[in-house]
Chain A
């Protein structure tokens, strides 16, 4: 398999995952804010912080209100990670690797792109946002299902899998960070009820609520949620699970020694979390380190398989 094609498939999967995650995130946040008591202010702007896009946002908008944040996250073409930008990137990567993906993939991504582009206003206005975003999520899943069921699970597939799981792992660290940050912001005001709301929504943004309940068999609490999302070996959005999957995929590719070495160095369970006090600034620093390590993993994938620039 050509290195350039491998690189396009990797990015195609990363962007596809990003589209779905962004849609999920905005959709869940909507519901979270309904549940938060009025006197507590957890703003939409957290989503911008979570995506490390504050500078980009400040360049474009004055008000950190719902409309601007949602517009920025879903529709803004100056934001390379906005949902619409990411859809365009999925499409462009599919267009240029059409010789290796199933033919229907191209039709499917065209459909998703046109739907998103023509209906983006529904995502920005609140009244039909949920419906719009769930259609986007479904369409992403159709595309994933199409690839899973009709594309040969050869080298190209392994690259898509690595792209998808790396993006997922990265997103999960950001979701946890958003939870921790929201609670630090309210400065110890957080009662048990608010903590439950916040961590419950962290789970929901990752579609992890049910799996959490079944696996942990306990009420929602910060430490349990953090441990589950970092170290569970079965849940597909848990960081540890994603890393296991990347290792499996890499193992099926030639010259994977270095990538697997980098993988082994990442320990998602190294940070001890016993009660809510452990979820403060140190926890955020740990998550940041984890992201740096994921970045290194990405670099080693690049150095091993992708074309030299």
Chain B
């Protein structure tokens, strides 16, 4: 007898998300309004936003306009009801298999997406200004990147110093002279916004390489609709679900072949990558193939093909979720098995579009960040609509001296890291941490920037049964630029789940909330 055939994917060593138990006895019945005050448990009167700007509640404890209906509704639910909804959200997350991977020294762990059911609200009026500011910013950044890889007028005109480019880890000489369609290099941008005490949004950073999180934004809405369906009947909450079709249109607009149905693919580093869930989600939503490097091949005449059951099929646009340095072992890291040999020459010859374009990361350097307001003025001749957070460049001797003298008050960030790794949060650090950073800064000042510790805004978050406490949060909207521009309605709200913590990254114990842009009908 022949041994039984086995094959394809071997069970992996790491654990993936699994479906959990259904919460018992969930009843969608609504508490009658008259019950308010009797079984009112979420005691909004006891909720204190402290000295921070709170997204839902004003300093004197009244609900803000976009949160009015939400708060009165939540206030009408009993402790048990809220707890049931919370459990329901948890079960939904497990059922939908929403997970992310945390890299630790002990190995990679897949965790369920931590989610708080109390949404964060923003008025539609404020959002429309913010969205305009985000478009303005990305437009200028793309002009800046395009300029850097061509004439470098921005340097010649003395707007930014030359060494910022020559010493940048993300400037790619291979990209010089290339002209992607519409002058757009960063087609998908995730910009992190924070709200300060004054209630205004500030840009914390721009992610122009492979920003992630948009699938969580979409899934958060899905969860909230299941858990708090009543609110969607009465409130004017703007929908978020047009992102994927806009992403698809943006990608299609980049196709070098002007054909009716260009072939678009999502390129993932593979099934064990922390964001694989998102890559599969986006491919599925757009109805395009999800490929790995080994599925693609570049021909001698510099065109990209994918290996299909009918043979090789030409690929026009690649939404790549692989870092520049792993894209093409012929050009970048020789040991990369994630990439596709020859991909860069195909792109350089204009036979395939890569989104984002290689080299776009040059503008998400945190040192370049400090110059973005100037960049906007220079290219667009406009004042920036959204402000930057005050930033100290450690390469400047004067600013460095200030940073070194105030390490206990500032947040220090490496110029080229993301995901909240390698940061110093001054007020929460030890003397030893500060000494380590002082040394790092002196050794490589160009690699560090510092910012004042922001009084990040807060929102009410369920910390235990029936108890709400303020937790700090930020917001990552996603901006698209191809033939047209697009901004998500709101974005991904990330919450620092630990009391007092300012670190919202999911890799560092952060959670998230659904983000509501609400039409309030107020001028």
Contact = CB atoms under 8 A, between A and B. Distances in A.
Interface of A: 1-8, 10-12, 14, 18, 49-53, 80-81, 85, 88-89, 91-93, 95-96, 98-100, 103, 106-107, 110-111, 113-114, 155, 159, 170, 174, 177, 253-255, 288, 291-292, 295, 298, 305, 307
Give the top 4 A-B pairs by smallest Cβ distance, nearest first.
Answer: A11-B8, A110-B19, A254-B310, A99-B283
A170 B283 contact: no
A110 B8 CA distance: 19
A292 B3 CA distance: 10
Give chain A's interface secondary structure class: helix
Q: Is the interface of B mostly helix, strand, loop or mixed?
A: loop
B271 to A, nearest CB: 5
Nearest to A50: B1
Contact of B19 (A1, A80, A107, A305): A107
Nearest to A108: B19
Contact of A3 (B2, B5, B10, B307): B307
Contact-residue bracket for chain B = 35 or more
Contacts of A2: 289, 291, 295, 306-309
Nearest to B285: A99
A229 to B, nearest CB: 17
B95 interface: yes
B295 A4 contact: yes
B1 A291 contact: yes
B1 A103 contact: no
A177 B2 CA distance: 12
Contact of A8 (B9, B97, B309): B9
A114 B18 contact: yes
A4 B96 CA distance: 24
Interface string B98-125: 0000000000000000000000000000
A307 B19 contact: no
Contact of B295 (A49, A305, A307): A307
Nearest to B286: A99
B128 interface: no
B311 interface: yes
A50 B306 CA distance: 41
B316 interface: no
B209 to A, nearest CB: 23
A95 B276 CA distance: 10
B309 A80 contact: no
Given A80-B6, A95-B16, A89 B271 contact: no
Contacts of A10: 8
A88 B97 contact: no
A126 B180 CA distance: 67
Nearest to A92: B9
A255 B4 CA distance: 27
B11 interface: yes
B9 A99 contact: no
B290 A85 contact: no
B19 A3 contact: no
17 contacts: A2-B307, A3-B307, A4-B295, A8-B9, A50-B1, A51-B4, A52-B2, A81-B4, A92-B10, A92-B12, A98-B284, A106-B97, A110-B95, A113-B18, A170-B5, A254-B311, A298-B5
Most-contacted residue by chain B among A12, A96, A100 (CB, 10 A): A96
A92 B295 contact: no
Interface of B: 1-12, 16-19, 95-97, 271, 280, 283-284, 288-292, 294-295, 306-311
Given A52-B1, A95-B16, A170-B4, A3 B309 contact: yes
Contacts of A7: 7-8
A95 B110 CA distance: 14
Contacts of A1: 289, 308-309
Contacts of B311: 254-255
Contacts of B289: 1-2, 5, 99
Max chain A CB contacts within 10 Å: which of B7, B10, B11, B17?
B7
Q: Which of B10, B309, B311 has the most chain A CB within a 10 Å cutoff?
A: B309
A10 B309 CA distance: 12
A272 B291 CA distance: 49
Contact of B309 (A12, A100, A155): A155
A99 B19 contact: no
B112 to A, nearest CB: 12
A254 B313 CA distance: 13
Given A89-B11, A107-B19, A307 B97 contact: no
A96 B310 contact: no
Given A92-B11, A110-B97, 10 more contacts: A2-B308, A2-B309, A3-B308, A52-B3, A89-B8, A99-B290, A110-B19, A111-B19, A255-B310, A307-B307
A53 B1 CA distance: 10
B11 A88 contact: yes
B95 A95 contact: no
A140 to B, nearest CB: 16
B319 to A, nearest CB: 13
A17 to B, nearest CB: 12
Contact of B9 (A53, A89, A159, A298): A89
Given A2-B306, A110-B19, A291-B2, A11 B7 contact: yes
Contact of A99 (B8, B284, B306, B308): B284
A51 B1 CA distance: 8
Contacts of B284: 98-100, 103
